[in-house]
């Protein structure tokens, strides 16, 4: 079947690692058409828009995107670097990946955190007799990607009607002593529709991939309304999946337990911010940013990306030293998504073999500081890691 994948390298090391994922896809025999799409800092500087309309159009047309990483900078840097002829014309920087999630309602974010045997970055824990053990971690975090605290529904010095509306709540009396201009407000709004969608996706994934539990990682004892809605919806959806258990863990307690018994968890589901936190925490147990892959899935469009950013401090290094595995595993998620399970499995096995053998490792896997000296100190280049994976294929 003819298929087109939209490639969005973005900035910095995004450009490096995306190219490596394409080499691996080619080696496994995946042969779609590719179409390049512009995204990132360069387009902010030159066009005042880091997510040009033509990129949105390409994604709408083809439905499938591979994304590297972008550079985002604070407001003042964004304004300063904007090309002179665009200055003071009302252009406002926004994160293009957050933009993509909103434009296409990519509301289901999946972040698998699965340890590869032999990875020196795997979490280990001490046993009672003073020895060590390395529990295998196999978790898939489902993060609601569009709502909650990261939806941008916030104000400093809120409009009067917002202030007045809040003042109708009895709990607001603690702040009614302050001037409006002294207040900063970020809201956390959940909809039942989006909550049901993430929950259904989580339970379906658990069933399909053989997990026995879905853990809601929220804080329903305090955030009684929003986290409470997640818990209620989880109870409903669980009835449609009787073979999967519904567990609950508060986000704070989870941060403690996941270094105690991470092997107990399967699918974990959370709102936007807690999902961000818990997915980084689990990623840290299985190798960190060099291994952390993700998918952003909506009804019509799906975009696959490593969770790391553009790592500007390494973007100039030639040859590059960053780990391509997070991007390669993101491409593997794309293969799974479109039903190419066999190719996906072959790549996973090849990555596992390279990690287990340990002959070809980027600086992060060597536990070295990154930088221009990493290669001469024995770290493999980005290209060498990809080559080793391809050789296994
Ligand atoms: P970052 O993820 O780019 O890098 C942080 C550090 O993690 C790097 O300096 C490096 O030590 C390590 N690292 C990252 N990717 C690695 C890889 N593949 N292999 C080995 N080590 C790796 O995060 P940072 O430095 O906070 O942000 C840099 C830029 O990236 C910023 O402009 C930020 O806004 C943007 N960013 C973009 C994201 C995206 O495109 N989805 C996500 C996170 C940050
Ligand atoms: Mg994060």
Closest Cα to atom 44 of ligand 1 = 309
Closest Cα to atom 36 of ligand 1 = 309
- Stretch 12-37: mean pLDDT, rounded? 98
Measured in residues, the chain has a length of 393
> Does 266 score more than 70 pLDDT?
yes
Alpha-carbon dihedral angle through residues 96, 284, 145, 243, given to the nearest 10 degrees: 150
pLDDT recorded at residue 230: 98
Ligand 1 mean position to 326 CA, how many Å? Answer: 12
CA pair distance 212, 152, nearest whole angstrom: 35
Q: Are 9 and 18 in contact (CB under 8 A)?
A: yes
CB-based contacts of 284, cutoff 8 Å, min separation 6: 123
CA pair distance 196, 192, nearest whole angstrom: 6
CA pair distance 229, 213, nearest whole angstrom: 19
Q: Which atom of ligand 1 is nearest to the CA of 14?
A: 40
CA pair distance 369, 360, nearest whole angstrom: 17
Question: In the structure, which protein residues have their CB atom closer than 6 angstroms to any atom of ligand 1?
Answer: 69-73, 97, 289-290, 305, 308-313, 322-323, 326, 364, 370
Strands 213-218 and 245-250: parallel
**What is the best residue among 68, 309, 324 to mutate for testing ligand 1's pocket, by most ligand atoms within 8 Å of CB?**
309
pLDDT, tens digit, 9 for 90 and up, residues 72-83: 998 889 999 999
Closest Cα to atom 1 of ligand 1 = 309
Q: Which atom of ligand 1 is nearest to the CA of 71?
A: 32
Ligand 2 mean position to 273 CA, how many Å? Answer: 8
What's the fold here for domain 123-148+191-285? Answer: Rossmann fold (3.40.50)
pLDDT recorded at residue 1: 58
Ligand 1 mean position to 243 CA, how many Å? Answer: 39
- Residue identified by tokens 């998918």 is 295
Sorted by where each begins, the domain ranges of the chain are 1-106+297-393, 123-148+191-285, 154-188
| pLDDT band of 152, cuts 50, 70, 90 | confident
Ligand 1 mean position to 372 CA, how many Å? Answer: 17
CA pair distance 298, 286, nearest whole angstrom: 27
pLDDT, tens digit, 9 for 90 and up, residues 50-101: 999 999 999 999 999 999 999 999 888 999 999 999 999 999 999 999 899 9
Ligand 2 mean position to 268 CA, how many Å? Answer: 15
Tell me whether residue 280 is exposed, middle or buried, using C-beta atoms within 10 angstroms of its C-beta: 0 to 12, 13 to 18, 19 or more. Answer: middle
Helix H or strand E segment including 227: helix 226-239
Q: What are phi and psi of 184, to 5 degrees?
A: -120, 135
Q: Are 267 and 140 in contact (CB under 8 A)?
A: yes
Ligand 2 mean position to 148 CA, how many Å? Answer: 15
> Does 343 score more than 90 pLDDT?
yes
Q: Are 91 and 61 in contact (CB under 8 A)?
A: no
Closest Cα to atom 23 of ligand 1 = 309
CATH 2.40.10.220 at 1-106+297-393, yes or no: no
pLDDT recorded at residue 247: 98
Q: Can you read off the two tokens belonging to residue 39?
A: 């995204």
- Stretch 168-190: mean pLDDT, rounded? 95
- Residue identified by tokens 């670097």 is 81
């Amino acid at each position: 079947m003819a298929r087109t994948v939209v490639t969005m390298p973005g900035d910095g090391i995004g450009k490096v690692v995306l190219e490596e994922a394409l080499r691996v896809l080619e080696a496994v025999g995946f042969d779609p058409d590719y179409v390049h799409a512009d995204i990132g800092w360069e387009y902010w500087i030159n066009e005042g828009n880091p997510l040009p309309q033509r990129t949105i159009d390409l994604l709408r047309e083809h439905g499938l995107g591979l994304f590297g990483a972008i550079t985002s900078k604070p407001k003042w840097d964004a304004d300063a670097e904007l090309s002179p002829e665009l200055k003071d014309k009302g252009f406002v920087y926004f994160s293009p990946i957050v933009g993509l999630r909103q434009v296409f309602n990519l509301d289901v974010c999946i972040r698998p955190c699965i340890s590869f045997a032999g990875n020196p970055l795997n979490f280990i824990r001490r046993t009672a007799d003073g020895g060590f053990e390395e529990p295998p971690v196999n978790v898939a975090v489902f993060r609601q990607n569009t709502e909650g605290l990261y939806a941008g529904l916030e104000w400093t010095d809120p409009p009067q009607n917002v202030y007045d509306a809040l003042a109708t709540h009895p709990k607001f009396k603690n702040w009614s002593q302050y001037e409006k201009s002294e207040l900063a407000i970020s809201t956390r709004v959940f909809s039942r529709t989006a909550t049901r969608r993430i929950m259904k996706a989580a339970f379906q994934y658990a069933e399909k991939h053989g997990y026995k539990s879905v853990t809601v990682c929220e804080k329903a004892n305090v955030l009684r309304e929003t986290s409470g809605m997640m818990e209620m919806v989880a109870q409903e959806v669980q009835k449609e999946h009787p073979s999967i258990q519904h567990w609950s863990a508060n986000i704070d307690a989870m941060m403690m337990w996941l270094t105690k018994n991470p092997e107990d968890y399967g699918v974990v589901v959370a709102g936007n911010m807690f999902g961000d936190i818990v997915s980084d925490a689990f990623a840290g147990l299985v190798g960190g940013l060099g291994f952390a892959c993700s998918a952003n899935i909506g009804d019509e469009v799906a975009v696959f990306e490593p969770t790391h950013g553009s790592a500007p401090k390494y973007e100039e290094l030639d040859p590059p030293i960053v780990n391509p595995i997070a991007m390669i595993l993101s491409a593997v998620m794309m293969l799974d998504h479109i039903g190419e399970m066999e190719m996906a499995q072959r790549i996973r096995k090849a990555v596992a073999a390279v990690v287990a053998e340990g002959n070809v490792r980027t600086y992060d896997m060597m536990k070295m500081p990154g930088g221009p000296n990493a290669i001469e100190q024995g770290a493999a280049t980005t290209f060498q890691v990809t080559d080793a994976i391809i050789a296994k294929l």
